[in-house]
Amino acid sequence: MPDPADDLSIETSCPTPPALRSRSLISPIRAGGLAALFKVLANDTRLRLLHAIVRAGEIRVTELATLLGMKPAAVSNQLQRLADTGIIASRREGSNIHYRLVDRCVEGMLEQGWCLIDEADVRSTIARRAACGGASCDND
């Protein structure tokens, strides 16, 4: 029986959720599930893999390994962790395995994460300049 995740037409869109402030307090079970997902995502290699997949649309393990400077077996191991969450899916073409993002919420989350680190960089620069008396410091 074919795996439904192998169907390229299956994608999980990220619906517009109700405002976070208007939602009921997250339940312990839901919070635990979210924490487990964050644990999988809280890995620099997996984040880089996800970014590469988003950029490519679909990409082979060997291409990912080359991009990240890793061995294909190590890449496959990390991709399996992501696939176990349902974030990505794969398809086999001969001896090649191609990966693609199937949960579009992840792309938005990566965008938000990027925004957070960009904003943190700006705040850090402002704080350094303030510590230098408003002038540009040597390391700016």
Domains assigned to the chain: 24-102 (1.10.10.10), 104-140 (no CATH)
Q: What is the mean pLDDT of each run of 10 residues along the chain (140 residues)?
A: 45 72 94 94 96 97 97 96 95 94 91 88 81 67
The pLDDT, as a whole number, for residue 110 is: 93
The pLDDT, as a whole number, for residue 8 is: 45
Which residues are paired to 91 by β-bridges?
A: 98
The pLDDT, as a whole number, for residue 13 is: 62
Residue for token pair 């191609």? 98
The pLDDT, as a whole number, for residue 20 is: 86
Which residues are paired to 88 by β-bridges?
A: 101
* CA count, 13 A, side-chain hemisphere, 70: 19
The pLDDT, as a whole number, for residue 120 is: 81
